[in-house]
Amino acid sequence: MQVFRPEDIDLATAPDANRSFGAPSGTDLPVMRSVVRQESRDGGLRSGVWDSAAGTATFRHTADEWAYILEGEVQVTAAGEVHQLKAGDVFYTPAGESMVWVVPTYVRKVWVHRRPPIVGRIRRKLGRMLASARS
């Protein structure tokens, strides 16, 4: 069994926090940080903590995501629907779905990513290639 407590993770000081993405100076992208705290042996299932400062960002995950908002709030537009998420909310996003996140001040979540089986990943990639070729 692996256990971690999100409240014990300070993304500002965690030595293994991913700070390689986020806002370069002078852009509208928020600064975002993430750390992986658990991973299955085959790498298909991972979990950790993520946060974001105020701003707007577009995402397309390559994995299914289940997440729990620990603090803050965010407006997420996905599949043409707008969702207001706040501390205590749980959500699911399928792999490949594009989302726009608008964070008014700050948001922090615990996330679980599940990579789809290889057949599903290949099918989605072929679907995107065909759609792109038609446009």
Per residue in 23-77, pLDDT (tens digit) is 444 456 788 888 888 888 888 889 999 999 999 988 888 899 999 999 999 999 9
pLDDT band at 22; cut points 50, 70, 90: very low
pTM over 0.85: no
Please state, rounded to an integer, the average pLDDT across all residues of the chain: 84
Decide if pLDDT at 83 tops 70: yes
Mean pLDDT of 123-130: 79
What CATH number labels 6-134?
2.60.120.10
**Cα(132)–Cα(82) distance, integer angstroms:** 25
Q: Are strands 45-60 and 32-39 parallel, antiparallel or unpaired?
A: antiparallel
Residue 114 near residue 44 (C-beta atoms within 8 A): yes
Q: Give pLDDT, residue 3.
A: 74
pLDDT score of 121: 60
Q: In angstroms, what CA-CA distances link 13 with 33, 54, 113, 130?
A: 11, 19, 23, 44
Q: Confidence band (pLDDT; 50, 70, 90) for 14?
A: confident
8 Å CB contact between 63 and 93: no
